[in-house]
Amino acid sequence: MRAWCTIPHERDFPLPAEVPGMKRRAALIELSREHHGALVLTQRIAKAHDTAAVAHLMDSVPAIFRSELEPHFRIEEASLLPRLAAAGEVEQVRRTLAEHRELRDLAAKIAAGDRSRLKPFGAALNAHIRFEERELFATAESVLPAAFLDHSGQTCDPDPDPTLHEPWCHENP
Ligand SMILES: [Fe+2]
Ligand SMILES: [Fe+2]
């Protein structure tokens, strides 16, 4: 067999979010679990071809965004991103915030009834989760202190340290 034949397909390297319980540091486990749920939603959006399936998602996506994704974004923005910026990872933080803005904008348009935004929303959410699992969370696990990473309650604290809130956190790119 030629060497290239033995190169595993990307699906042979699942994201932690695709495997509940796959190793993540304690502070990121809950966020990673939520990524798994969001990936399932993106698969449902990708497979929605008939009118009934699209109509069902046009109803359910805004509710899921409000109850699950928006709170998830806020936890990342209040707890994880300030720490990463303080550690010097400003570019990855800016990208995360820009993608959150894009997803919020797409979700608002879906809530307003714009069906043309459903598939772009699913694709953007899938790419965002893959970026966070492969890059942002990997960076967090390599640069943030164990005192943060090894405490499972940390990412549920919306405002762990007000001094970590720097102007970059809310500025436009
Ligand atoms: Fe995010
Ligand atoms: Fe996330």
At residue 49, the pLDDT reads 94
Q: pLDDT tens across 123-134, in order?
A: 999 999 999 999
> How many A from CA of 41 to the centre of ligand 1?
15
Distance 72 CA to ligand 2 centre (A): 6
Q: What is the DSSP secondary structure assignment for residue 97, as one 8-state letter?
A: H
| Dist. CA 73 → ligand 1 center (Å) | 5
Tokens describing residue 35: 């990524």
Quote the ligand 1 centre to 139 CA distance (angstroms).
Answer: 14
pLDDT above 90 coverage of the chain, percent? 69
Place of tokens 């956190």: 169
Helices 51-64 and 26-47 cross at an angle (nearest 10°) of 160
Residue 7, SS3?
A: coil
Cα 31 to ligand 2 centroid, rounded to whole Å: 6
Of 128, 122, 79, the residue nearest 100 (C-alpha): 128
From the CA of 35, how far away is ligand 1's center (Å)? 9
How far does the centroid of ligand 1 lie from the alpha carbon of residue 3, in Å?
37
Between 124 and 25, residue with greater pLDDT: 124
pTM: 0.80
| pLDDT band (50, 70, 90) for residue 4 | very low
pLDDT tens, position by position, 27-38: 999 999 999 999
Instruction: For residue 4, report the distance from its CA to the centre of ligand 2, in Å.
Output: 33
Q: How far is the CA of 137 from the centre of ligand 2 (A)?
A: 9
Other C-beta atoms closer than 10 Å to the C-beta of 42 total 19
Q: pLDDT band for position 24 (50/70/90)? A: confident
pLDDT digits (tens, 9 = 90+) for 66-107: 999 999 999 999 999 999 999 999 999 999 999 999 999 999
